[in-house]
């Protein structure tokens, strides 16, 4: 008999950054598989639209709440709200982050100052959210997980937590004019080692912690970006968002019960050469 099924049925998932590209996708996957989901995000303006979009999953199966992971009180409230609504917290997914996007709508917003001139304020802001905010949220969840005697944490990393960006990806025929800035790399590099820190710190407390490394989720990228990406990716293409579902479901399920402190690459082989 398999006591460790790849199932998330009735698991209670608290997901940060839930209103973004990956957050919405995996929330739907969890709900389709019978989990209870707390969609938490700082973007409160989006709550009515989220409620409408998720309505058909049943109001008893999800809630959409305000959360600012940089604020300790807000993080503690998100955990309390989760436990009040669903009785426990099985899985925290640290997904919220500031990330300069290179799809059509995001590119114009990316600060393209070269490294030597990159505004330190933007670095501080990303560190505040992507690094400090992840710690704050994890502290709040661990208090609850220690009290209930079990827990599972999934940190969302990036290939840029592992390797440097190849800035040629952002060269659209004008030399290195566009590039991935340092704030993202600095703040996300912390995630794999933080994952190992939490995994080993709580290894005797029935709390697991793993990281997942998505890469290049297809959105509304233009042809030159797609062309560059496909040349550099071993699989020769970007990731369809639904290709993240199974890896997240697996890490959240008891099927991954012997995994802790690991970094699961879902990057089409990007870091393999
Ligand atoms: N999209 C990709 O190609 C890709 C690739 C690798 C890794 N990632 C990682 O995946 C995660 C999600 O990325 P995404 O593409 O969905 O980004 P996104 O920008 O679409 O969503 C991020 C969400 O986080 C929220 N957020 C920002 N600051 C917050 C705060 N202080 N408190 C709570 N919520 C906050 C935003 O409001 C937003 O809804 C990030 O950790 C990112 O680094 C994304």
Q: pLDDT of the chain along its 273 residues, tens only?
A: 567 789 999 999 999 999 999 999 999 999 999 999 999 999 999 999 999 999 999 999 999 999 999 999 999 999 999 999 999 999 999 999 999 788 887 777 788 888 999 999 999 999 999 999 999 999 999 999 999 999 999 999 999 999 999 999 988 877 657 888 999 999 999 999 999 999 999 999 999 999 999 999 999 899 999 999 999 999 999 999 999 999 999 999 999 999 999 999 999 999 999
Integer Cα distance of 63 and 81 in angstroms? 9
Tokens 């393209």 sit at which residue?
A: 112
pTM of the predicted structure, to 2 decimals: 0.97
At a CB cut-off of 8 Å and minimum separation 6, what does 61 contact? 31, 35, 36, 37
CA–centroid distance, 105 to ligand 1, in Å, is: 15
CA–centroid distance, 128 to ligand 1, in Å, is: 14
Please confirm, yes or no, whether 170 is among the known catalytic residues.
yes
List domains and CATH numbers for the chain. Answer: 12-268 (3.40.50.720)
In short, whether 96's Cβ falls inside 6 Å of ligand 1 is yes
**What distances in angstroms separate CA 143 from CA 3, 146, 148, 165, 208, one per listed residue?**
27, 5, 9, 36, 14
At a CB cut-off of 8 Å and minimum separation 6, what does 57 contact? 28, 31, 32
43 CA: nearest ligand 1 atom: 37
Q: Which of 57, 160, 170, 197 is catalytic?
A: 170
At a CB cut-off of 8 Å and minimum separation 6, what does 49 contact? none
24 CA: nearest ligand 1 atom: 16
Q: What are phi and psi of 213, to 5 degrees?
A: -120, 95
């Amino acid at each position: 008999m398999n006591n460790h099924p790849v199932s998330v049925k009735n698991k209670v998932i608290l997901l940060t950054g839930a209103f973004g590209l990956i957050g919405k996708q995996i929330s739907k996957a969890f709900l389709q598989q019978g989990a209870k989901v707390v969609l938490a995000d700082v973007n409160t303006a989006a709550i009515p639209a989220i409620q409408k979009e998720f309505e058909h999953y049943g109001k008893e199966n999800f809630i959409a709440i305000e959360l600012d992971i940089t604020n300790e009180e807000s993080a503690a409230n998100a955990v309390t709200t989760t436990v009040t609504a669903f009785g426990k917290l099985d899985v925290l997914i640290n997904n919220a982050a500031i990330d300069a996007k290179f799809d059509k709508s995001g590119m114009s917003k990316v600060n393209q100052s070269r490294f030597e001139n990159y505004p330190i304020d933007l670095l501080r802001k990303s560190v505040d959210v992507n690094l400090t905010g992840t710690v704050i949220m994890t502290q709040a969840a661990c208090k609850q997980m220690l009290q209930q005697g079990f827990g599972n944490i999934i940190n969302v990393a990036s290939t840029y937590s592992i390797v440097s960006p190849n800035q040629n990806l952002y060269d659209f025929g004008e030399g290195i004019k566009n590039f991935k800035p340092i704030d993202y790399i600095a703040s996300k590099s912390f995630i794999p080692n933080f994952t190992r820190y939490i995994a080993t710190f709580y290894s005797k407390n029935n709390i697991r912690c793993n990281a997942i490394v998505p890469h290049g989720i297809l959105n509304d990228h233009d042809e030159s970006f797609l062309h560059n990406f496909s040349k550099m990716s071993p699989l020769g293409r970007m990731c369809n968002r639904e290709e993240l579902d199974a890896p997240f479901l697996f890490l959240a399920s008891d099927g991954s019960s012997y995994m802790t402190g690991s970094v699961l690459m879902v990057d089409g082989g990007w870091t393999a050469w």
